[in-house]
Amino acid sequence: MDGEGGLGVFSEVGSLKKVLLHRPGKEMETLTPEVLENLLFEDIPWLKKLQIEHDGFADALRGAGCRVFYYADLLKEVLADSGVASVAADHLVSTGRIPQSRLKEEIRELLVSINAGDLADVMICGLRKDAVPHSDDEKRLSWWIQEDFPFYINPLPNLYFTRDPGAMIGEGMALSAMQTGARSRETFLLDLIRRYHPMFSSIGEKLWYSPDMGDSLEGGDVMVLSDTAVAVGASVRSGSDAIETLARRLFEEDSGIREVLVIRIPAARAYMHLDTVFTMVDRDSFTLFPGVENDIRVFRLTPSGGSGKSGSIRIREAETLEKGMAGVLGMPVRILKSGGKDRGAAAREQWNDSANTLAVKPGTVITYNRNTASNEALEKAGIRVLEIEGSELVRGRGGPRCMSMPLLRGI
């Protein structure tokens, strides 16, 4: 499990060997004040600086011994197969804002005629209405009426938060059912890579969750605590039905997971995923935004009867987060408060993702350098902090953990 080959994630803090990123690109330049709300942004990052910062993040990962893979590269490789390109074109047309069947056919013909790199660009950057050639005589009424929204196929500016479309759990994958339509195509991109890229062939049928299973579930709420336990956040983005379905699947299938710890956090955009307020920084240590500690409830889910094959689940509420984690991990744990003892600094820095740390090995995490009080608190607790610049990255409301999907991580 600790080798260089294959894929698999067996802990939250073991040595990180392979990770999937997306380097922000032209899709960010589709952000204008008029479409920010539709595309889930509150601000417009400066692309040039955003890319410099993201490259710094990738360099920090490589410096820690991790191999970095990019969405655009993997998509281009799978889309070189005309059959896969056809599957992608069908999905783009069927889910796009394309009002008439004839226009859908024309756009599909356009998509299958372009090369793999250009098709990958469309999948990420979207397709503007003015990119489809029409004379004024050919423009349908729908073109004029819907002109205020400029895309036939929406861009994916949130894709650089690669944590959310899916999560490796053991040797399998949970594909997210995204809570918002603006991000639903991100899961399709990941699934296309999972199904057709040879690097992902080891996953096979080990699909622990998928969008067709119903309730929303997003990767930012999934935390692989060990090779036998997973924590899942019950948040504004991940529902209780989805969590119970995931737990049942993990127990029934050959996943190795014997316990799921459910952590209910306040349902608010500021705390959209568990990892916006709580992350693991060492084998026995976690960082927590203190502003939510009194509103958290913790539940331990285990197979009823022990085998997991019955489909029944036993649910017990833990007295505290600390006791719940200690029970799952079988050792005493430390809960380190972000912001140190300064609650004002904690609140300010949580807005800049101070608790959204990414462990690259036990006791070593990547964080934004701007969160000085939180970083100092971690260092005083014996955690090594690798700081990166994030003044533009943070405008998308995510930190280092949000921006990474671990593909291979040991125990």
Q: Catalytic amino acids?
A: 402
Distance separating alpha carbons of residues 201 and 408, to the nearest angstrom: 14
Question: Which distant-in-sequence residues (6+ apart) come within 8 Å of 335 by Cβ?
Answer: 286, 287, 288, 321, 322, 325
**Smallest Cα–Cα separation from 23: which of 392, 368, 409?**
392
- Say if CB 388 and CB 367 are below 8 A apart: yes
Give, for 279, the enclosing helix (H) or strand (E): strand 278-282
Distance separating alpha carbons of residues 397 and 351, to the nearest angstrom: 8
For 320-328, which contacts have Cβ atoms below 8 Å and span 24 or more sequence positions? 321/263, 321/278, 321/288, 321/293, 321/296, 323/298, 324/261, 324/263, 324/298, 324/299, 324/300, 325/225, 325/231, 325/261, 325/286, 327/300, 328/225, 328/226, 328/229, 328/231, 328/259, 328/261, 328/300
The 8-class DSSP code of residue 150 comes to -
Q: How many CA atoms lie within 13 A of 8 on its CB side?
A: 18
Distance separating alpha carbons of residues 142 and 152, to the nearest angstrom: 11
Outline where 98-239 has alpha helix (H). 101-113, 116-125, 141-145, 184-196
Tokens coding 50: 């955003």
- Say if CB 132 and CB 110 are below 8 A apart: yes
- Say if CB 49 and CB 401 are below 8 A apart: no
Sequence length of the chain is: 411
